[in-house]
Amino acid sequence: MTAPPRWQGVFFDLDGTLADTVELILCSYRHTMEVHLGQVLPDERWLSAIGTPLVSQLRGFARDEEEVEAMLETFTVFQRELHDDMVRPFPGAGALLNKLRTRGAHLAVITSKRGVVARRTLEVCGLWNSVDLLIAVEDVDRGKPDPESVEQALSVLGLTDFRREVLFVGDSPFDLQAGRAAGTLTAAVSWGPFERQTLEAEHPDYFLETFEDLLRLR
């Protein structure tokens, strides 16, 4: 019997997919809103756009570009102070990456975070040495849900002609939209902040309840 084809590449979102960072992000958001707006707004307002570039999210709250820059500084400094104590990998993330590498898959992380923060998150989670490529927000002109970051990963890893053998795994609608627009297959994970109904509306090719589910796909 012929063995099933292996993935040529598996691309992952970072926050809410490989790394459990949502509480850190929300703490930073609450602090930033209190400092600049004098009130803590509902978490749902932030969560609805989580996964898009930070500056884009802050523009939804700031009154002008000067305040966007001030909010960005407040958010970044506060997050940096708490980061290492609050970030952890989701159970099984490291084992999954190692198994995929053993099977010959090229592994990329595609994130709306700045590169220096994303690398630190991967290092704290013990995942940095398991990925081949990191595409961060400053590496592209248009962040997710635009497919530019996925297209760049395909190009760098030599997978442009194999996009239907590449899986993009994420926890947000923006991940799924980016992957689909780039022509890869997509998988939504159940352990992020978005409700299943929201993710299913994007018609992912797969829905993962655990990391092990991914290994059973191919």
User: Active-site positions?
Assistant: 13
For 39, 64, 107, 158, 181, the CA distances from 186, given in Å and listed in that order, are: 38, 36, 14, 19, 10
Q: Which tokens hold the place of 17? A: 């997919």
Q: Mapping DSSP to helix (H, G, I), strand (E, B) and coil, where does residue 203 land?
A: coil
Task: Identify the CA nearest to 159 among candidates 177, 133, 178.
Answer: 133
My answer on whether omega of the bond before 91 falls inside 30° of 0, hence cis, is no
